[in-house]
């Protein structure tokens, strides 16, 4: 654990954004889903992240998600705004507005598509951190952004007083250990399959996709690790493994999570926004096969799972939504 206070929580859900069948944000569904996650053990909710389909949300939708999250949480969990932008000025505008909307923290994704140098990445992070009083999580996910946050850049960024954490979806455990040894940064596992290994080398918590479906076992893992009970943590990790495979292996995690949540009756529609699409029949069959290997998980009754491949496919082409700015 870090030497500094943790302003984010430890079991953070990378929240899906529930949509109606025609692709609009299902605001009552958002409220219900956030409450379900918190009731199941989450103490942090990351809205407008990768899993929340930030790249196809409008700015007003992003800000309303912060407001709704803050209202539903009512102090039970921290609300972190994710996303960002590959344009520094736009990112600053979004995070300032998110702070006014009530966010408890911000998560800054590495600038994508531009492929800046590490000097550009560092400048992007520093300028955003300068523009907010909120604690900042850096989001290192080179598989999506095209570039990593290199070790030396993380060390330099760690000197900024507002930059206090990293969400790691890079999978370089040696680098995580090295940074933890040389900084006070907190680390959050951004890879559902590696939550327990990350915690074992000193990570603070997780920001998970599968936690949309099953936050309770992650609460068990965190509490057990905090208590030094590796046996209990390992059992919960093993319990989750088939569900993690179902969510993270065959289609983007957002798509699989919504397909499963809808099949469980926990969201009204599995709709995702283009260019994401629901699972094809072969992909849905693979997800369902993985689910057949899942045993009993607290808060998840898979006997109630009713796959709806027609709803996932979406039928007629959905409307195209406006630009994100």
Q: Mind telling me the catalytic residues?
A: 139, 167
Q: How far is CA 123 from the centre of its chain?
A: 24
Q: What is the DSSP secondary-structure string of 50-61?
A: TTTTGGGS-HHH
**Residue 293 backbone class (left: φ over 0; alpha: ψ -120 to 50; beta: rest):** alpha
Contact 26, 262 (CB under 8 A): no
Whole-angstrom Cα distance, residue 127 to residue 72?
31
- Cα 196 to Cα 1, 174, 193, 215, distances in angstroms: 14, 15, 8, 14
Sorted by sequence, the CB contacts under 8 Å of residue 75 that are 6+ apart come out as none
Q: In DSSP terms, which residues pair with 11 in a beta bridge?
A: 206
Backbone angles phi, psi at 168, to 5 degrees: -100, 115
């Amino acid at each position: 654990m870090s030497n500094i206070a943790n302003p984010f929580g430890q079991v953070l859900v990378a929240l899906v954004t529930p949509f109606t069948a025609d692709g609009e944000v299902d605001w009552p569904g958002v409220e219900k889903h956030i409450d379900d996650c918190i009731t199941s053990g989450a103490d942090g909710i990351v809205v407008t992240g990768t899993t929340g389909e930030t790249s196809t949300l409008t700015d007003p939708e992003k800000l309303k998600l912060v407001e709704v999250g803050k209202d539903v949480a009512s102090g039970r969990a921290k609300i972190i705004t994710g996303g960002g932008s590959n344009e520094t000025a736009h990112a600053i505008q979004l995070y300032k507005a998110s702070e006014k909307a009530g966010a408890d923290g911000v998560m800054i994704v590495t600038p994508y598509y531009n492929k800046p140098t590490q000097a550009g990445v560092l400048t992007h992070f520093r300028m955003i951190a300068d523009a907010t009083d909120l604690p900042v999580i850096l989001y290192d996910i080179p598989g999506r952004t095209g570039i990593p946050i290199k070790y030396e850049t993380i060390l330099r960024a760690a000197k900024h007083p507002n930059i206090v954490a990293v969400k790691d979806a890079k999978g370089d455990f040696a680098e995580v250990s090295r940074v933890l040894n040389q900084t006070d940064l907190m680390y959050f596992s951004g890879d559902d399959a590696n939550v327990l290994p990350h915690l074992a080398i000193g990570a603070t918590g997780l920001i998970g996709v599968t936690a949309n479906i099953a936050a309770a076992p992650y609460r068990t893992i965190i509490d057990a690790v905090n208590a030094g009970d590796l046996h209990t943590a390992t059992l919960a990790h093993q319990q989750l493994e088939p569900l993690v495979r179902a969510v993270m292996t065959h289609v983007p995690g957002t798509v699989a999570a919504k397909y499963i949540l809808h099949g469980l009756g926990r969201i009204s529609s599995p709709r995702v926004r283009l260019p994401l699409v629901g699972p094809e029949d072969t992909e849905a069959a693979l997800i369902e096969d993985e689910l057949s290997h899942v045993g009993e998980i607290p808060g998840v009754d898979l006997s109630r799972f009713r796959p709806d491949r027609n709803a996932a496919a979406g039928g007629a082409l959905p409307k195209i939504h406006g630009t994100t700015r």
